[in-house]
Amino acid sequence: MTAMQNVSIGSHYAVHLPAPDDFAVWRERARGLVQCDVPPDRVSWIEPGGTGDLFASEGPARGEKRLPVPPVDAPPVRASKRFLELARHAALHSDPARFGLLYRVLWRLQRHPRLMEDKADPEVRRIEELAKAVRRDAHKMHAFVRFREVEEEGGTPHFVAWFEPDHHVVRSEAGFFMRRFANMRWSILTPRGSIHWDGEVMREGPPARRSDAPGGDPVEDLWRSYYAAIFNPARLKVGAMLSEMPKKYWKNLPEAELIPQLIAGAQAREARMVSSGSLERGEKPETLKGVGKAIHACRMCPIGELDNHAVMGEGPRDAPLMIVGEQPGDQEDQAGRPFVGPAGQLLGEYLTRAGIDRDAAYVTNAVKHFKFVWKGKRRLHQSPGAKEIDTCRWWLEAERDLVRPRIVLALGASAARGLLGKTVSISKVRGEPMMLEDGTELWVTAHPSYLLRLDGAARETQAALFAADLAAVRERLEDLAG
């Protein structure tokens, strides 16, 4: 702390403050000056490093004169509680005129003790504004300080943050961080000074530079993932974000680097979400060939956008039985035909065993395109969503209208949804026929790929159930044919 120097030139006093945030010294000097009846226009307040005003440059060397000593019988200086409360905050503002303003209001308060209640007074308003800006800056410091973990030799982790406040709030907010992180070793470095806490003692240090702070922390990746995931792209309110997290803070927030890409992605994402189910498709094609052609162009759901080919159903135009699977798989997609992969082969075996001629049935899928994710070089099957099945139902119904089967056999829950429009539990509906809206009989059983995923006793049980379902369907076919 530098010694205070008091200079008076003629009747003008210049008061040097030891630190830009030293409210206690300001208060003491101001009290003395008021007691000596020094009017506000004859005092300058100078903070270290500040240019102050004209008189400051004269320095203490010339015409050095102590501040006047208040007379013993000087009346006590009075100020309202509200003034003190506001002044404590306003004194931390970076506006160089703040101490002069505070002194002017303190001076006026001696004659108008209730001045602070006049919220419309321009000087009172100004103090309130300064105090508000400081409180906001302190609050943003609580919010936007980001610690990075540094491993020290001792083994105890040390958490270090770099922060750039607008006002002189670093020392005043040290207590907040101490109370919050009492059992942690931490440092907050700022261009206005730094504070260090070792779990027991708070130390103050000189101003720091950004390069003094550590460069990264692996947990920041997790934090960024969280930030991106918690953002709801269906609701973009950039203005609301900017008013609370202005761009000036972004450079020290690890998550802020994601903001431009999140905004850019958001509008496109929502448009896709809404359009994937709401578009009109016009007239249904009148022939199976027409359907086969039209499905290639279908982009009504995101699956159509993938790198795949639509797979049309196949079989006799007047087939009595229609078998519906979930969606083409990798092999079906390449071959352009339904049920040619491992599940299709298994289905063929069971149909033969049940005595159903596969070639006499019309075989198709609830969803016409192959939904997948790339896993290395492999395309990994992904189940279609309810929405996607419902969207594709339009094509399945077009096929059903043209083939007009007596019986429809749905393999698995996706196929059942494609026919019923709602999700059913296979174990509850299997073994009994259901009636579709147009009177067609619907039988639901498991998808053969389900059997492929099982082994041991479970597979045997499920295989028996599957075979029994197929046998029941064959019986119904014979009944209806007879």
Among positions 183-202, residues that touch another protein (CB under 8 A) are 183-184
Distance CA(91)–CA(247), nearest Å, equals 26
Instruction: Quote the tokens at residue 442.
Output: 């619907």
Beta carbons within 8 Å of 424's beta carbon, 6+ residues apart = 413, 416, 417, 444
Q: In this chain, which stretch among 17-25, 43-51, 180-188, 283-291 interacts with another protein, using CB under 8 A? A: 180-188
Give the distance from CA 81 to its chain's centroid: 42
Residues 34-93 that bind another protein (CB under 8 A): none
> Shortest approach of another protein to residue 286 CB, angstroms?
27
The answer to whether residue 221 forms part of the interface with another protein (CB under 8 A) is yes
> Shortest approach of another protein to residue 365 CB, angstroms?
9
Q: In this chain, which stretch among 7-15, 34-42, 223-231, 394-402 interacts with another protein, using CB under 8 A? A: 223-231
Of the chain, the end-to-end C-alpha distance in Å amounts to 108
Q: In this chain, which stretch among 63-71, 95-103, 238-246, 456-464 interacts with another protein, using CB under 8 A? A: 238-246
Residues 125-154 that bind another protein (CB under 8 A): 125, 139, 142-149
Q: Which of 19, 74, 452, 472 binds another protein (CB under 8 A)?
A: 452
User: Which strand (E) or helix (H) includes residue 269?
Assistant: helix 259-278
Beta-strand relationship, 378-381 and 372-375:
antiparallel
The answer to whether residue 179 forms part of the interface with another protein (CB under 8 A) is yes
Q: Is 438 exposed, middle or buried (0-12, 13-18, 19+ CB in 10 A)?
A: exposed
CA-nearest of 99, 111, 120 to 56 is: 99
The answer to whether residue 219 forms part of the interface with another protein (CB under 8 A) is yes
DSSP reduced 3-state for 162: strand
Q: Is 43 exposed, middle or buried (0-12, 13-18, 19+ CB in 10 A)?
A: buried
Residues 285-304 that bind another protein (CB under 8 A): none
Measured over the CA atoms of residue 282, residue 286, residue 290 and residue 295, the dihedral's sign is positive
Q: Which of 24, 97, 240, 458 binds another protein (CB under 8 A)?
A: 240
Q: Which of 85, 118, 357, 475 binds another protein (CB under 8 A)?
A: 118
> Shortest approach of another protein to residue 445 CB, angstroms?
15
Residues 248-267 that bind another protein (CB under 8 A): 253, 255, 259-260, 262-264, 266-267
Q: In this chain, which stretch among 118-126, 349-357, 437-445, 468-476 interacts with another protein, using CB under 8 A? A: 118-126
The answer to whether residue 208 forms part of the interface with another protein (CB under 8 A) is no
The answer to whether residue 114 forms part of the interface with another protein (CB under 8 A) is yes
Instruction: Quote the tokens at residue 360.
Output: 């006499």
Q: Which of 326, 410, 426, 443 binds another protein (CB under 8 A)?
A: 326
The answer to whether residue 117 forms part of the interface with another protein (CB under 8 A) is yes
* Torsion angles phi and psi, residue 191, rounded to 5: -70, -10
Q: Please, which residues bridge with residue 6 across strands?
A: 15
Q: Which of 14, 33, 161, 473 binds another protein (CB under 8 A)?
A: 161
Amino acid at 392: C
Residues 339-368 that bind another protein (CB under 8 A): 341-344
